[in-house]
Structures are given as structure tokens and as C-alpha cells.
Amino acid sequence: MRKLTRNDLCWCGSGKKYKKCHMESDLLSGAPSGRKIKLPRGVNVKTAVEIEGLKKSGILTRDILDMVGSRIGEGVSTEEINTWVHEHTIKNGAIPAPLNYNGFPKSVCTSINDVICHGIPDKSEILKNGDIINVDVTCILDGYFADASRMYIIGKADKTAQKLVSVTKECLYLAIDQVKPYNDFGVIGQVIEKHALENGFSVVRDYGGHGIGKKFHEEPHVHHYDVGFRGIPMVPGMVFTIEPMINSGRYESKLLGDNWTAVTADGSLSAQWEHTLCVTEKGCEIITE
């Protein structure tokens, strides 16, 4: 294979010469030399300007989750959480991305206990002692999407629920530790699955992380379970989410009649944590932290 030289077009698809684009960052980050990186169709790297925009959106997303954390508790309805998120987002000049996304009817996803993801807020759904809930917030600020979710434990949950919530968070951070230039995307699912299985849990397969930018969901799809080597390298400037969904029982999911709410097929508990990340020359930056 021919080595990419200064005057070749950059591998990232920008249409710019390599020397005007990724040459310097490749040298700094120790990109494999003599190997021309070809990214699959639809996988892109962001410009510095885009990354600045995404970071601002990430800060707002984080602040909204902090706000939710300061108010959530027993007796609160998921409809109220929706109102808080909607109003805080709008007040800050942003748009809640879930609202009307492929017909989703609310501004945030709220997923309680056996709900894996995409739970729809509802005024009849009241949080009670022992519940675990995922709140998934996505902001569009100046056209840039940032996506993050956290678990909240209501009152005192049982031992299994507590362990599930903490192991799922550990899975996310073990995966984030693997985000560095030229690591293969397949490694993410490998470290998540290992940690989940070691703790007696399973990894949801039907939903994954995703590239993100000026669109909600971009390539690549990010697997949270082990699919082996993907052949897609992490490249500085890539922005994507990692959002493992871990079940206390079996991994299978099923969709409820509303066509959104995904639940565990066996009725076991499910937890999820999500961040949006940017690959940097040195490793990664968590833009929603």
C-alpha cells in the first residue's frame, strides 16, 4: 500500500490536501505510517469549528442533566421531567432533539426499571421509592447535537439495582478509556461485554451508540457487545456516543405497542449511561461531562 504524501488528498474526505488537513495531527498522534486510512461511507471527522459548536451543546446537555438530578425524586412524574428539560433547553436557545424526531412525542426519554430506552414521559407515571430511571437528554444548539444520559436512583433501591447502575457506569468509562487515535471501534464492545458478563449481567444488542454532529444519528453504529474487529479506526476529530444498556437478566429486548418503548423481554432491570465524545490527538474529550 502506498504511503499518503503531503500533496495527496486527505483520507478524511475533506477534499483538502493532506498537508493542509490531517497530516500534522497524524504525525503528532503516531498514526500508522505507510498505511492509508480509508473510512467507511458516512463516517466523518469534524472541523475545529464544528467541534467548538458541539462542545457548547455538550455543556448545555450536561447542565440539564445536573438540573434534573437536583430535582428528581419520589412523587415526581416523568411528565414533569419532560417539562423541566423542555423549558431549560428552550430558555438556553436550544431545541430538544427528541421532540418530533421520527414522531417521538416528547422532549426527553425517561426509562424506568425494565425499560431499556426510549421511554415516553407521561403524567400518570410517578417515581416511587426503589425505582431506577434513565433520563436521556439531547440538545440541538446552533445546529449541533449533543447526547447524554444518566441513571438516577429514587430513594433506596435493592442491591441488584444498585449494582446494575454502578456496573453500567463502569462499562461506559472502561469503553471511554479505549477511545484514542487508531484504536478499532470493535474494542468498545469488547471491554463493555467483558465487564458486564463478569458481573453476571448482559449487554443489549438491539440498540447502540452512534456518530453525532449536525445530525442526531450518524455513522458509525457503535456496538456495545463484542463483534470482533470492525476495521474502523478512531480518528482525531470523530465525534460519537457510547451508551451501553445493560440488563440484570437476559439481553433480549422487545418493543411495546407505542412503537418506542423498549423493555427487557424477561422483565429484568436495565440501566444505561451515555456520553458524547470527541477523539483528540492524545485520546479523547468527553464533551457532555
CB of 272 to ligand MF3, least distance (A): 8
Least distance in Å: CB of 92 to ligand MF3?
Answer: 18
Q: Which residues of 198-236 are buried (b: 16+ CB within 10 A; e: fewer)?
A: ebebbbbbebbbbbbbeebbbbbbbbbbbbeebebbbbb
* CB closer to ligand MF3 out of 109 and 165: 109
How many Cα atoms within 13 Å fall on the side-chain side of residue 230?
25
CB-CB contact of 242 with 172 (8 Å): yes
Residue (of 254, 241, 226) closest to 118 by Cα position: 254
Question: Can residue 138 be called a binding residue for ligand MF3 (CB under 6 A)?
Answer: yes
**Which of residues 21 and 68 has its CB atom nearest to ligand MF3 in the complex?**
68
The 174-213 site mask, x for binding Co ion (CB under 5 A), equals ----------------------------------------
C-beta of 4 vs 151, nearer to ligand MF3? 151
98 binds, among ligand MF3, Co ion, none (CB under 5 to 8 A by kind): ligand MF3
From the list ligand MF3, Co ion, none, pick the one residue 244 interacts with, judged by a Cβ distance below 5 to 8 Å according to partner type: none
Task: Report the residue from 50, 80, 114, 243 that binds ligand MF3 according to the rule CB under 6 A.
Answer: 243
Cell of 197: 458478563
Burial of 258 (0-12, 13-18, 19+ CB in 10 A): exposed
Between 18 and 260, name the residue whose CB sits nearer to ligand MF3.
260
Choose among 218, 85, 223, 73: nearest CA to 149. Answer: 85
* Cα(268)–Cα(210) distance, integer angstroms: 25
118 counts as binding ligand MF3 under rule CB under 6 A: yes
- Binding mask of the shown chain, residues 128 to 157, with x at each position contacting Co ion by CB under 5 A: --------x----------x----------
Q: Give the C-alpha separation, 21 to 74, whole Å.
A: 52
Q: Are 204 and 259 in contact (CB under 8 A)?
A: no
Q: Is residue 111 close enough to count as binding Co ion by CB under 5 A? A: no
DSSP bridge partners of 140: 95, 145
**According to CB under 6 A, which one of 147, 152, 188, 263 is a site residue for ligand MF3?**
147
The residues of the shown chain that bind Co ion, judged by CB under 5 A, are 136, 147, 241, 243, 274
Residues that bind ligand MF3 (CB under 6 A): 98, 101-102, 104, 109, 118, 136, 138, 147, 243, 274
